[in-house]
Structure 1
């Protein structure tokens, strides 16, 4: 079980939750107040969760290692030094390890539900391992190489393999059950759309086992009889705008729409508001009469849904990017430390004040992060809120500051953000100041879907920067083009793209710096 259940929380104030003014009074047509229960849910601390895909990947690794170690141990104990040709053993052990992964996948032994149920999984595991060995013996027979492999070794490999796999799966089961009890495998979910369709979906999801879904509440723009205040025991927490705010305040992994595909205009209006969030968005196909090919659906248990948006850089991609940032960031910090030291000395000798400048900027999911930079303005003229952008020949910029801004040396302290704080990435959309404007308009007012660039961690450099969209954004076109490049990066991310951007950055600083002052 997870840390909370919404229905348990509303038992104490069910009467208040069912009244018509549950969203607070509306003054002169003003936006409804944020639901008090939504405030309480958002305030509950949420433990970091683990992706089932990552758990399954780790178990595959454990299975392969168990097979390799079992085969290698029996070879070392019995066959080593007693056989003339060790090549069949070198081929058989890794081949059986690979075969085990394929066989167990076919037997559905990597689903989180199977990892929780040791007894049922053990029966299938022994069956699969036995069938795999019988197939191996058949191959030896038809290839006429049975006399080249010790029968004692094969028997020992089979027995030790069973023991190793069962022992490993037993401890995996204990671990997965612990993670389940502590809520580390749950996916926090919001349902969009109340009424009969919403209730039917919730009932269907609750009837499934091992989906890992934790429903936080229901959201719906309708406020009439078609959308009651309680749906299958879950409260309606607000509108789509409230859902966006809710996702900003607490961790949310998944949104499921219960609207029919025929409600195209309403669906698109809602999606335009939600696609900026770093969450998975699905469309329920549970009650739809429209049928697609089976491969068009994904499933929560037996409940079909259509994939609309996927969270970018998820599951193992997060691990890969984290390792890339830490490894390359540490190497860059070591390599550039003489340059950073020289820059710090130059700043200190050029003007009074601290060497470093700290500024609040937008980070992942619109969270505030404190970004480090070398100070480039006179200390008494520092603009912590970025109320006024630095322009050409800006009198606030020091002599050294003008050089380090032109060459982007002022950004180097952000390597500390990457390596130690982890709130920046080496590559990503550049973090913008909170009050930054273009043509005296806030960025989010200029660019539709601006906050979609915050679906990933911001970076020191990015796709927009190496394509010349860095520095001052004094016109609406400049910020529009920058955001377009940021969204392209998010949609096409790969480690190779990150590496390309890093390698291209020094050259772009020398050739595309006309907007950097």
Structure 2
């Protein structure tokens, strides 16, 4: 229950909003205003147009701190664009005889119902945060000045936005201030978001906070002033009229992008399971069982999104042994069976992870998850290793197609993997995913030196 209450966002809320709005749009058209049109054509054209318009206008980019006037502005913008699209549809499909006055009535009723639904969800979430204390985020502020006081008052006086402010740290002109004490408090109180006044932190302290946030999966944001922030991807947001800067912009955090990636994962994994694993699994099960005793599938706990543990599935490629969960496979490893050697070289042993993708623990593309014992070591010794847990792990990833797959033979291997993983999460796109999938397939066919 606590995990649900403190969730960074609901993965179902944005898809539900799309679904509800599309039901209103298509339901009113087919059953009330335009009963004689071709339903398949209308639903296909208008639904795709609505989704594209929504992306272009940021119609669904409504957050807990979004003001009502912004929502009204988004509604009017979408109303205008959708009206133009609907008239364009009537002009292109003249055979349906859609009259202008009927179209106007249809569009106005559509937006009346969508507006009611949008504000209903917005206010219901606010009441849920206020009354039930759910869907909240714990915050701290580093710095004590006029601007941080405004932000603190915003958190305190607006419980409907779902922020629980724990502490504001005074920094300036304090001889006994220790930033390590801040870090200790953040860990002990399980703080979700850190807000920093740039004017009160030295460049060295800013670097310390950035490293701490990255290595501990904390959201970090800055209150801007005249100091320079060294980051390529800054994102401005407004809490009421208070400007806040996000240090790292992760495209998959955008609800529509998350929905798009999850939809792609679901469809792709379903196709692999139905058309590949359905017949390949029985064959491999027989071959694996004939060569050695033990289960067909190998299950191992890994760390995934937000550092949560999950069971990762593979076809068993080694004889059962006590070191399987502790030591990674090395070149010429005697634990690997003959059939195991083949399925590892061809990456067939990874195919059961499409069930992990289907269940939502993994994605087709993302940072590769490590064994728990190795993750603990890397998290302590490799700077920014934890950043890769801001997104779901993948069956393949940018690091894997860039020469960093398989055994970690030196510290440079894991450092290179982390750099590529961070680049991926900051520059994600569906086209990048497709490129990585194609490159993975080509590498598998060609063969890789580290595939053992």
Check whether the contact 1:218–1:238 (CA below 8 A) recurs between aligned residues: no
Distance in 1 between residues matched to 2:394 and 2:346, nearest whole Å = 17
Residue 323 of structure 2 aligns with which residue? 383
The answer to whether 1:318 aligns with 2:255 is no
Distance in 1 between residues matched to 2:443 and 2:315, nearest whole Å = 20
Give the number of the structure whose alpha-carbon radius of gyration is greater. 1
Residue 49 of structure 1 aligns with which residue? 9
- When residues 239 and 115 of structure 1 are mapped into structure 2, their CA distance, relative to the original with a 3 A threshold, is closer
Check whether the contact 2:252–2:258 (CA below 8 A) recurs between aligned residues: yes
Aligned with 2:382 (options 416, 433, 447): 447
Residue 293 of structure 2 aligns with which residue? 352
Residue 465 of structure 1 aligns with which residue? 400
SS at match of 1:390: coil
Segments of 5+ residues of structure 2 without an aligned counterpart are: 85-93
- When residues 354 and 330 of structure 1 are mapped into structure 2, their CA distance, relative to the original with a 3 A threshold, is same
Per-residue CA distance 1:429-469 (angstroms, 9 max, x = gap): 111112238xxx93235532112222211111111222232
| Deviation (angstroms), 1:216 | 4.2
- When residues 485 and 61 of structure 1 are mapped into structure 2, their CA distance, relative to the original with a 3 A threshold, is same
Distance in 1 between residues matched to 2:364 and 2:18, nearest whole Å = 27
| Deviation (angstroms), 1:419 | 1.0
Check whether the contact 2:250–2:426 (CA below 8 A) recurs between aligned residues: no
Check whether the contact 1:56–1:110 (CA below 8 A) recurs between aligned residues: no
Residue 88 of structure 2 aligns with which residue? none
The answer to whether 1:503 aligns with 2:441 is no
Check whether the contact 1:468–1:512 (CA below 8 A) recurs between aligned residues: no
| Deviation (angstroms), 1:345 | 1.4
Aligned positions of 1:325-364 closer than 5 A = 325-337=265-277, 338-364=279-305
SS at match of 1:275: helix
Aligned with 1:393 (options 332, 336, 340): 332
Distance in 2 between residues matched to 1:382 and 1:109, nearest whole Å = 50
> Could you tell me the TM-score, scaled by structure 1's length?
0.66
Check whether the contact 1:356–1:375 (CA below 8 A) recurs between aligned residues: yes
Residue 428 of structure 1 aligns with which residue? 366
The answer to whether 1:266 aligns with 2:205 is yes
Distance in 2 between residues matched to 1:176 and 1:201, nearest whole Å = 21
The answer to whether 1:368 aligns with 2:309 is yes
| Deviation (angstroms), 1:299 | 0.9
Check whether the contact 1:189–1:256 (CA below 8 A) recurs between aligned residues: no
Aligned positions of 1:61-72 closer than 5 A = 61=21, 65=25, 69=28
| Deviation (angstroms), 1:312 | 4.6
- When residues 171 and 484 of structure 1 are mapped into structure 2, their CA distance, relative to the original with a 3 A threshold, is closer
Aligned positions of 1:60-209 closer than 5 A = 61=21, 65=25, 69=28, 74=33, 154-155=100-101, 157-159=103-105, 161-183=107-129, 188-196=137-145, 198-206=148-156
Aligned with 2:182 (options 219, 225, 239): 239
| Deviation (angstroms), 1:304 | 1.4
Distance in 2 between residues matched to 1:125 and 1:446, nearest whole Å = 49
| Deviation (angstroms), 1:296 | 8.0
Per-residue CA distance 1:279-299 (angstroms, 9 max, x = gap): 6432114xx47799xx98431
| Deviation (angstroms), 1:53 | 10
| Deviation (angstroms), 1:385 | 2.7
SS at match of 1:265: helix
Per-residue CA distance 1:61-111 (angstroms, 9 max, x = gap): 569938x9469955669xx9xxxxxxxxx9xx98xx99xx89xx89x9996
Distance in 2 between residues matched to 1:115 and 1:273, nearest whole Å = 28
SS at match of 2:252: coil
- When residues 221 and 59 of structure 1 are mapped into structure 2, their CA distance, relative to the original with a 3 A threshold, is farther
Distance in 2 between residues matched to 1:124 and 1:511, nearest whole Å = 50
SS at match of 1:190: strand
Distance in 2 between residues matched to 1:223 and 1:124, nearest whole Å = 41
Distance in 2 between residues matched to 1:461 and 1:446, nearest whole Å = 24
| Deviation (angstroms), 1:341 | 2.4
Distance in 2 between residues matched to 1:43 and 1:261, nearest whole Å = 33
Segments of 5+ residues of structure 1 without an aligned counterpart are: 4-41, 81-89, 136-147, 229-235
Distance in 2 between residues matched to 1:302 and 1:452, nearest whole Å = 30
Check whether the contact 1:62–1:168 (CA below 8 A) recurs between aligned residues: no
| Deviation (angstroms), 1:321 | 0.9
| Deviation (angstroms), 1:472 | 1.4
- When residues 409 and 223 of structure 1 are mapped into structure 2, their CA distance, relative to the original with a 3 A threshold, is farther
Residue 10 of structure 1 aligns with which residue? none
Residue 15 of structure 1 aligns with which residue? none
Check whether the contact 2:6–2:135 (CA below 8 A) recurs between aligned residues: no
SS at match of 2:330: coil
Aligned positions of 1:472-511 closer than 5 A = 472-511=407-446
SS at match of 2:354: helix
Distance in 1 between residues matched to 2:296 and 2:185, nearest whole Å = 42
The CA RMSD measured in Å over matched residues stands at: 4.9
